[in-house]
Amino acid sequence: MPTPHAVPLAGIVDANRDPPRYPGKALRHGSRGADVERVQRRLLALGISAVGAPDGDYGDRTTSAVRLFQARAEDAPGEPLEIDGIVGPRTWRALFRPLAAGADEPASPASGLAAAALAVARGEVGVREQPPGSNRGPEVDLYLSAVGAGLLGQPWCMAFVYWCFSQAARRLGVDNPAPRTAGVIASWNEARDVAAARIVTAAEARRDPAGVTPGMVFYIDTGGGAGHAGFVADVIDGRLVTIEGNTNDGGSREGIGVFLRSRRRIEAINLGFVAFG
């Protein structure tokens, strides 16, 4: 049985045919009709079951499923798609592009505490600092306060990761194994003493990318004792779909909010990855 994220090639009836013609207008929330149903069926064929039944109604589930596809896909020149939940010309072409035989399938989904923490992180996508560039805001203050007092206004990517795990652990009624620190390098070092942690170093990840799985935390050393970290949401052919706090569309560690990104690659992570729980 394929995983929910697997691409069941046998189920893609149009894989060897010319792609259907773009309908001439973008499909978005509220759209209805045969073209919407065609998109829904294609998403299902690609293993994105979150779209639900192909009913021709472009509602919340279809919007979320399109966003997931956009986060995992790219256009023909290899550029990431805009993750807006709208099927415009670029997303249409990427969606109906024939699949290459033997193409790498997306990684298996996370489970347990990792899946729960990832779900919490997804729910925070869209959070922004108030004002931008301040390392402050109602949600950002919660992330930092979860780690300790006196940190308001400090970089918060690692605090965001810890907060997500703490929320997930509380919901599951288990201990939070993630190190309680706002420091990326400190968390990476302390993870080695966590019995429930599975560590994949950067060198190990380059040798065997299959060791990097959704739900893991990635760690980057940016120099001078600083770093950047976030969640791995998906892994596709060496490309990471990530959820990151204190970042922006460009991937800065001094960003303005929580973003879903799809431009990092495994070989660009210079410390490694940790699976907690």
pLDDT on residue 28: 96
What contacts 133, CB < 8 A, 6 or more positions away?
254, 256
Comparing C-alpha atoms, which of 200, 190, 212 is closest to residue 266? 212
pLDDT at 156 over 50: yes
pLDDT on residue 138: 97
Number of neighbouring beta carbons within 10 Å of residue 195: 5
- In whole angstroms, give the CA distance from residue 43 to residue 143: 34
How would residue 14 be classed by pLDDT, with cut points 50, 70 and 90?
Answer: very low
Average pLDDT over residues 134-144: 97
The model's pLDDT over 43-64, given as tens digits with 9 standing for 90+, comes to 988 878 889 999 999 999 999 8
pLDDT on residue 68: 83
Question: Quick one: tokens of 59?
Answer: 């509602």
Residues of the chain above pLDDT 90, percent: 64
The model's pLDDT over 161-208, given as tens digits with 9 standing for 90+, comes to 999 999 999 999 999 999 999 999 999 999 999 998 999 999 999 999
pLDDT at 226 over 50: yes
Question: Quick one: tokens of 224?
Answer: 């001078």
Full set of structural domains in the chain with CATH: 9-96 (1.10.101.10), 112-276 (3.90.1720.10)
